[in-house]
Structure 1
Amino acid sequence: MDHEKRTKKKRNHLPFRLNILFLAVFLAFSVLILRLGVVQIVKGKEYQDKANETDHAKTQLDSARGKIYAANGTVLADNQAELAVVYIRKPGTTSKDNLKTAKKLAKLINMDDSKVTERDEKDYWILTHSDAYDQKLTQAEQKNFKEDPKEADKAYDLVLDRITKKDLDSISKADMEVIAIKRELDQSTDLTPHFIKKDLSEKELALIGEHLGDFDGKIDTAVASTRKYPNGDYFFLGQVKDIPSELVDGFLAKGYNRNDKVGVSNLEEEYEDALRGIPTTLTFTTKNGKAVNTPEKKEGQRGYDIQLTINNKLQKEIAKIIDKDISNTKHTFPQPKLDSAYAVVMDPHTGGILAIVGRKIDHSTGKFEDASSGAIYNAFQMGSAVKGATVLGGFQYNAVPEYFNDMPIVYKNGGRFKSYSDFGTLTPETALEHSSNVFMAKIASNMAGFKLRPENGHYKARVFTGEHYRKAFENLRQAYGQFGLGVETGVDLPFESTGYEGGIPKEGGKIMQFAIGQFDTYTPLQLAQYASTIANGGYRLAPHFLKSIHAPTNDPKKLGPTIYHYEPKVLNHIKNTQEEIDRVQRGFYLVTHAPNGTAPSLGHRDNAKYKIAAKTGTAQIDVENDPELYNKSLVAYAPYDDPKVVVAVVVPEIKHGETNLDIAQDIFKAYDKLTGHSLTKG
């Protein structure tokens, strides 16, 4: 009886447990059905949109650069348009994919294979031999590499090493074209247009056009632009090349592609932002990061054109002038070291560089070659040409005597410092006329606190190198800097030399050498800026090549609308009164027009009509070994009473002759004839 009761009790518990289980299952299915309903009905559209969601990726193809014109309208930098085939690599593309594309493209174009390397050939051999690993690796080696995927690169390198010359000899001429194309394809990056070949023939262009559909949007044609310089490769124009590796990140941040060409030096670099065109934009539709269609193209625009202050005719003529005058000097006074000269021509009221020329003899051929970059990058002791800055600097420190008697200075150790001759009593003006070294030494002595005591036809100098001496050196150097000597001129180029600064020498008498231009070194461009500062009444203007920027135009003979016109940049005004500046200008006039001036040829006869004011310079550069070896320089401007042009000339390492004066004289004549700005008319 008890057994039956227990059995009956168990039977009563079983349906209850089943009911609990059924309820749990029911609730679980209800939650699942509810979740599916939410996903399909409530969130269905959202998830469907995400499934169908597309993105857009943009890349760019560079347009032609702007042109560069001379002041007289001559094109100095132009573009040579070339039809090109472009490859647009899609994400996930493999080397095998590139091989297939290369084989298709090789049927349509001829490709130069001169850049193909042995490594390229070996890679191709492996790709085209499915049994390459079986041929070149033992079974044990293959097993080892398969068991350890990290060793895959080593396996590939081992196969490369075992490819023989005989293997490579099986590669045909047609194969080489395929390899050359694949080599270019492999150098591309995802969704970045890469030029495979430029200068396509009409036949090649037509064939590619007929088969564009075969390449799934990966191949297109475009117009490639190559820079050319039809009137000479002038140094100041610069170069256009691949983006330097150290600058890639910066250019990428500006929206460039890695394979874009950019200005890498001088004006091409300085005005890259203006010269670069608006790129053609290619927009890809992508799904899951992969391009799924042919890109949509938005055509770009050629870059802005720029016009320079350079007069191309004058630039070329000055090169001829320098060649002629150096040759004439060497013929009259044979001297082996005379082989170069530099000239800078500027507008003193704007700072515009009208011509900047350097010429140097190539000793291997005996012919002249361009060395114009030396006018900005090479520095020389300029000698007395800087004495105008010495006088004006001396005025700033009340160190210029109104009158001073020119006679030799004798140092305590017996050394002597003197002028070319004893010129008697001088004023600042006549000191410049005669180029008196002693007068400049007096200015430096006054600044340093030296005593020059007259004694038996000479001065006894008491010099020392204390605080006053150091301060005087610094003050004189700072005064020179006001004219652009020893400092950056501000020229619109990425780089310029500032010359050599000799510091503060231990010998006290060195400040006198400094005051006559025989210590620190300066560039011809600095010399021109210094002369312009005196010519225009004391304003130091930044030298510049840019005249204006223009919108591009389809008319090759005309510049487009002006976008920007260069305004002169005043860097500083020298700390002198107008009266002091007038006195130095008067001294420069006496140099060329007084009977005893150092450059009377520039003021007499045919040159008189130009009213040239000038200052000559002769720096002794090798006193111990060759005391007759000099740098000869000249700064000049004309007309004296209304300056229109400044000329600076430097002739290094010359012994005899006045080549600096000859060159300057011929430049003034060329300017008057070629520029349309007469020096003899108001």
Structure 2
Amino acid sequence: MKRAKTKSLEEINRQTLKSRINLVLIVIFSLCLLLILRLGYLQIVQGDEYQEEIENAQYVEINQSVPRGEIYDRNGNLLVGNESRPAIYFTRHRNMNTSQIMDVASELSNYIQMDVESISLRDKQDFIINNYPDETSSLMSDETTLLEDGNISRSEFNEEFYNRADEEFVDSILSDEDLNTLGIYVEMANAPELNPVVIKNEDVTEEEFASVNSALEELEGISTGMDWDRYYPYDDTLKTIFGEVSSPDEGLPRELLEDYLSRGYSRNDRVGKTYLEYQYEDVLQGEKEQVKYSTDKSGRIINQETVESGKPGDDLYLSIDIELQLELEELAEHHLTSLRQLAEEITERDEVTGDIDYTIIPEYLDTVLLAVQDPENGDVLAMVGKQINDEGEIVDYHYGTLTSTFVPGSSTKAATIITGYQEDVLEAGEVMLDEPLNFSGDNNPRTSFFNRDSQIPIDDQEALMVSSNVYMYKTALRIAGMEYTDNMSLPHDITEAGQILRNGMNQFGLGVSTGIDLPNEATGLSPDFGQYPASNYLYLSIGQYDTYSALQLSQYVSTIATRGKRMELNLAKEVRGSDTNEEGPVLKSFNPTVLNTVDISEEEWDQVQNGFYDVFNTHDQSTDRYGTGWDAFHELELKAAGKTGTAETFKDGTDVFNQTYLGYAPYDDPDMAFSVIFPNMPYTIPFFPAQYFGADVINKFYELEYGHEEEEPFNYDTDWFYQQLEYGEY
């Protein structure tokens, strides 16, 4: 029998060790394989994603603000510039908490002084809660116990402290140093990460600027640089028209936030808020500097690099002539204050004599508006508004030329006549009787101012010269399909005729946008014709119903001056590249735009323009009839043409007049047109002589543009005018 072979103990141990080694190797191999697969997955599948996250954690591109483009007048005079000033900035690094910000603010307070007047009570209260626990507890002893016992929350505790800690309490605790630190902290606290914000840019002294510069290594996130602000070489002249720019603290204005965010702006960008600054934001804003920040793992900035240099905004050149603007403002103030004084002196005299029957309230005479333009291309040369406020001070009201509208009176009668031509109800030179018009249901006849009780044949030209109401009424009736007969009934439905007449006004820019490159233009009121539609329709035909602005009236008279070419009004003439030493290259020109053409025959235009000439220049000796503007305009060196208007209206229940004066010069080749509005003038006959302002405007234009001899502005003589009021003559 054969004996079985057995393994030795040593052999068994060796085999066991070998098996264990193989097992460990298999495990190591498997782990290595898993690691390789995982690394491959991370590199191949998710490599781009993680690489992007790493880069974003290290580098952030931000936009630095640059100075806005400047604004100049048509002759290259600076109207709105940039004033450079030293500034202290703060850039918040990533993960920077409020405690760290407070530490920086506390350190920075050793170097600069802040204006602390605007610090809110809430900010002061929060500062005390965080920095003066003993004083807080002394005021809130019961609440402190409740808070420590967990019976009230921290927010409830704070809310009660806000209610109890008044200005007197907080001011008794906070030192000047506390307030200065708090003033800095408030500016820093809401800073977005890695986006520089201004801490102080007003009244930064040389000493402050230098001391901060020398301590930058100790002041985390603090830097120095230059900021800018708008300045106005001509002070408040046209400042409202130029518009506003938001402050560094304000950033994007709340009311324009969505608009600007949709255009790619950041919330802390300084932008145009109103008028030209807003209208031409894309021109004036410029291209912001791009800076790349490097941060460490904790989010602290370790380096910064300028990726792309910023570029100041482009410069905007306007149609405005600032020299003309300033001279006309002075004239406007002279006439407004002189007419107010005339009203005051007449009122004082009548209180003694009691010999006039007019109610004159001098305080109502408080506004004048003027627009001057080139009729050929729509350039606005000057826009003047002046008001006398409740304290008797004269203040600018330039924006009123486009935002305020008034019933103009007879100055718009040419539009009625021209609509009659276009509707084939009136022929050039056609004669009608100016006579009292009697309508069924009317208590009083409707008449013209120059003719109360006679039958006078006049044509369209003379109807403009003497401002015939009756000629316009009869034309309006024809547009409505009716011929005047004595005691006739007025139509009940004038819907179609009213629209035709308003369309006739619209073609001159009355009641519609002038196209002016400014926001917030008022187009006027065109109310429903109401309970008495036909009567109100007739009032519309003589300028006594709808309302228009000074700019609309200027465009209207310019359209007549050019024989029907309505030009879009514009303030911007050119965009030029920014150049600190000289005028930059022209990047864009704003070419004149014809909005529409008023189509009538040459013969019809002759009648209208001759009528406008007669308004200013003609005294018909055979009839002893004068143009309504003859007194003020007939002696001008260069003959002008135009139209006057007087609209009856009310102010606080008192009868007043809106007086308007429109014109252009020279009458045969005009290069200027103007409109003047004096609202709420005394309701007197003769009218207050405000038309002399229009004559002075023409004289001043030709003095500045062509070197004509300077003319003294019209001086009002109270004795002369009072006598005319007393006897009712003019």
Place the TM-score, normalised by the shorter chain, in its bin: 0.7 to 0.9
Alpha-carbon displacement from aligned partner over 1:217-268 (angstroms, at most 9, x marks no partner): x111121111122203222111122322132243234343323322111111
Given the alignment of the two structures, is residue 381 of structure 1 paired with residue 407 of structure 2, yes or no?
yes
Given the alignment of the two structures, is residue 396 of structure 1 paired with residue 412 of structure 2, yes or no?
no
**2:268 is matched with which residue: 259, 274, 282?**
259
Q: CA deviation at 1:624?
A: 12
Given the alignment of the two structures, is residue 563 of structure 1 paired with residue 587 of structure 2, yes or no?
yes
2:437, 2:342 → 1: CA distance?
Answer: 35
**Letter of the aligned partner of 1:53 in structure 2?**
I
**Alignment correspondent of 1:144:** 150
**Alignment correspondent of 2:210:** 206
**2:478 is matched with which residue: 422, 427, 446?**
446
**Cα gap change, 1:40 to 1:440, in 2 (>3 Å):** closer
The answer (yes or no) to whether the contact 1:132–1:159 under 8 Å persists in 2 is: no
Correspondences of 1:149-188 after superposition (within 5 Å)? 151-157=153-159, 169-188=172-191
Which sits farther off after the overlay, 541-550 or 296-305?
A: 296-305
Q: CA deviation at 1:495?
A: 0.9
1:436, 1:156 → 2: CA distance?
Answer: 76
**Letter of the aligned partner of 2:242 in structure 1?**
L
The answer (yes or no) to whether the contact 2:618–2:634 under 8 Å persists in 1 is: no
The answer (yes or no) to whether the contact 2:242–2:277 under 8 Å persists in 1 is: yes
For structure 2, the 5+ residue unaligned runs are: 1-15, 347-359, 620-625, 711-730
Correspondences of 1:211-222 after superposition (within 5 Å)? 211-216=215-220, 218-222=221-225
The answer (yes or no) to whether the contact 1:326–1:659 under 8 Å persists in 2 is: no
**Letter of the aligned partner of 2:312 in structure 1?**
R
**Alignment correspondent of 1:53:** 54
2:211, 2:523 → 1: CA distance?
Answer: 57
The answer (yes or no) to whether the contact 2:66–2:311 under 8 Å persists in 1 is: yes
Q: CA deviation at 1:134?
A: 8.1
Q: CA deviation at 1:593?
A: 2.3
1:25, 1:313 → 2: CA distance?
Answer: 97
Alpha-carbon displacement from aligned partner over 1:572-623 (angstroms, at most 9, x marks no partner): 1123334322321121112122212211235533x0x312011111112249
**Alignment correspondent of 2:354:** none
**2:150 partner SS:** helix
**1:153 partner SS:** helix
1:547, 1:261 → 2: CA distance?
Answer: 25
Q: CA deviation at 1:550?
A: 1.3
Given the alignment of the two structures, is residue 33 of structure 1 paired with residue 32 of structure 2, yes or no?
yes
Q: CA deviation at 1:404?
A: 1.0
Q: CA deviation at 1:504?
A: 2.6
Q: CA deviation at 1:498?
A: 1.2
The answer (yes or no) to whether the contact 1:69–1:308 under 8 Å persists in 2 is: yes
Given the alignment of the two structures, is residue 667 of structure 1 paired with residue 697 of structure 2, yes or no?
yes
**Letter of the aligned partner of 2:462 in structure 1?**
T
**1:573 is matched with which residue: 580, 593, 597?**
597
1:40, 1:523 → 2: CA distance?
Answer: 75
**2:591 partner SS:** coil
Given the alignment of the two structures, is residue 312 of structure 1 paired with residue 322 of structure 2, yes or no?
yes
Correspondences of 1:13-162 after superposition (within 5 Å)? 29-39=28-38, 50=51, 53-55=54-56, 56-128=59-131, 138=144, 141-144=147-150, 151-157=153-159
Correspondences of 1:523-672 after superposition (within 5 Å)? 523-555=549-581, 558-595=582-619, 596-605=626-635, 607=636, 609-622=637-650, 629-654=656-681, 655=684, 656-672=686-702
TM-score (norm. length: structure 2): 0.82
**Alignment correspondent of 2:285:** 276
The answer (yes or no) to whether the contact 2:375–2:561 under 8 Å persists in 1 is: yes
**Alignment correspondent of 1:352:** 379
Alpha-carbon displacement from aligned partner over 1:157-208 (angstroms, at most 9, x marks no partner): 4566677977864432222211111111113222221100114222222222
**Alignment correspondent of 1:303:** 313
Q: CA deviation at 1:140?
A: 5.6
**Alignment correspondent of 1:418:** 447
**Cα gap change, 1:129 to 1:44, in 2 (>3 Å):** farther
TM-score (norm. length: structure 1): 0.87
1:122, 1:569 → 2: CA distance?
Answer: 60
**Cα gap change, 1:167 to 1:566, in 2 (>3 Å):** closer
**Letter of the aligned partner of 2:335 in structure 1?**
D
**Letter of the aligned partner of 2:593 in structure 1?**
K
**1:430 is matched with which residue: 462, 473, 483?**
462
**1:258 partner SS:** coil
The answer (yes or no) to whether the contact 2:369–2:386 under 8 Å persists in 1 is: yes
1:138, 1:369 → 2: CA distance?
Answer: 56
The answer (yes or no) to whether the contact 1:450–1:462 under 8 Å persists in 2 is: no
**Letter of the aligned partner of 1:154 in structure 2?**
E
1:315, 1:460 → 2: CA distance?
Answer: 52
Alpha-carbon displacement from aligned partner over 1:494-535 (angstroms, at most 9, x marks no partner): 111111112233422322211000011111111001011111
1:131, 1:509 → 2: CA distance?
Answer: 80
Alpha-carbon displacement from aligned partner over 1:412-437 (angstroms, at most 9, x marks no partner): 12431111214722221121112111
2:652, 2:394 → 1: CA distance?
Answer: 30
**Alignment correspondent of 1:240:** 245
For structure 1, the 5+ residue unaligned runs are: 1-16, 454-458
Given the alignment of the two structures, is residue 470 of structure 1 paired with residue 495 of structure 2, yes or no?
yes
**Cα gap change, 1:597 to 1:129, in 2 (>3 Å):** closer
**Alignment correspondent of 1:13:** none
The answer (yes or no) to whether the contact 1:304–1:550 under 8 Å persists in 2 is: yes
**1:525 partner SS:** helix
**Cα gap change, 1:375 to 1:292, in 2 (>3 Å):** closer
Which sits farther off after the overlay, 189-198 or 50-59?
A: 50-59
Q: May I ask how many residue pairs the two structures share in their alignment?
A: 647
**Letter of the aligned partner of 2:517 in structure 1?**
D
**1:296 partner SS:** strand
The answer (yes or no) to whether the contact 1:344–1:524 under 8 Å persists in 2 is: yes
1:39, 1:487 → 2: CA distance?
Answer: 71
**Cα gap change, 1:306 to 1:289, in 2 (>3 Å):** farther
**Letter of the aligned partner of 2:552 in structure 1?**
Q
2:169, 2:658 → 1: CA distance?
Answer: 65
Q: CA deviation at 1:663?
A: 0.6
1:419, 1:371 → 2: CA distance?
Answer: 34
Alpha-carbon displacement from aligned partner over 1:322-381 (angstroms, at most 9, x marks no partner): 22223444444534132222111010011111111122222423x322222222111111
The answer (yes or no) to whether the contact 1:602–1:612 under 8 Å persists in 2 is: no
**Cα gap change, 1:614 to 1:668, in 2 (>3 Å):** same
Percent identity reads: 29
Q: CA deviation at 1:21?
A: 11
The answer (yes or no) to whether the contact 1:347–1:354 under 8 Å persists in 2 is: yes
**1:461 is matched with which residue: 488, 491, 496?**
488
Given the alignment of the two structures, is residue 486 of structure 1 paired with residue 511 of structure 2, yes or no?
yes
Q: CA deviation at 1:292?
A: 3.9
**Cα gap change, 1:678 to 1:303, in 2 (>3 Å):** farther
1:291, 1:211 → 2: CA distance?
Answer: 18
The answer (yes or no) to whether the contact 1:325–1:659 under 8 Å persists in 2 is: no
The answer (yes or no) to whether the contact 2:147–2:154 under 8 Å persists in 1 is: no
1:361, 1:160 → 2: CA distance?
Answer: 45
The answer (yes or no) to whether the contact 1:649–1:660 under 8 Å persists in 2 is: no
2:597, 2:527 → 1: CA distance?
Answer: 25
Q: CA deviation at 1:79?
A: 1.7
